[in-house]
Structure 1
Amino acid sequence: MTKPLRTTRADYAHFLAISTRWSDNDVYGHINNVVYYSYFDTVVNEYLLRAGVLDFSEGETIGLVVETRCNFFAPVVFPEPIEAGLRVERLGNTSVRYEVAIFAQGADEAAAQGHFVHVYVDRVTRRPVPLPAPLVAALKPLVTLVTG
Structure 2
Amino acid sequence: MHYDDLDAMGMLHNARYPVLVERAISDFWSRYGVTMRDGRPSHPDGAIAVREMSVSYLSPVRESGAVEIRIWVERLGNTSATYRFAVVSLDGHTVHAEGHRVVIKIDLADGRPSPWSPQYTAVVEKELTGRSSAPPDEA
Does the TM-score normalized on the shorter chain lie above 0.5? yes
In structure 2, stretches of 5+ residues that fail to align are none
Equivalent residue number for residue 99 of structure 2: 114
Q: Is the 8 A contact 1:24 1:78 kept in 2?
A: no
Normalized against structure 1, the TM-score is what? 0.78
Q: Offset of 1:144 from its aligned partner?
A: 4.3
Partner of 1:67: 52
- State the identity %: 25
Task: Spell out, residue by residue over 1:43-70, the C-alpha distance to the aligned partner (whole angstroms, 9 max, x if none).
Answer: 1111111122x24324334011010000
Structure 1 residue 143 corresponds to structure 2 residue 124: no
Question: Structure 1 residue aligned with 2:76, among 86, 91, 99?
Answer: 91
Distance 1:27 1:126, change over 3 A: same
- Map of 1:31 onto structure 2: 12
Letter in 1 for 2:12: I
Matched, 1:48 2:20: no
1:130 aligned residue: 115
Query: Which has the bigger relative contact order, CA under 8 A and spacing at least 6?
Result: 1
Q: For the Cα contact (< 8 Å) 1:80–1:104, is it kept in 2?
A: no
* Distance 1:50-1:126 versus aligned 2 partners, 3 A rule: same
Verify the 8 A CA contact 1:22 1:78 in the aligned structure 2: yes
Higher alpha-carbon deviation: 122-131 or 138-147 = 138-147
CA distance in 2, matches of 1:144, 1:50: 18
5+ long unaligned stretches in structure 1: 1-19
Query: Partner of 1:79 in structure 2?
Result: 64
SS of the residue 2:93 aligns to: coil
Letter in 2 for 1:142: L
Q: CA RMSD in A?
A: 2.0
Report the alpha carbon displacement of residue 125 of structure 1 after superposing the two structures with TM: 1.4
Amino acid at match of 2:87: I
Are the equivalent residues in 2 in contact too, given 1:73–1:110 (CA < 8 A)?
Answer: yes
Select between 69-78 and 104-113 the one with higher mean Cα deviation: 104-113
Count of residue pairs the alignment pairs up: 128
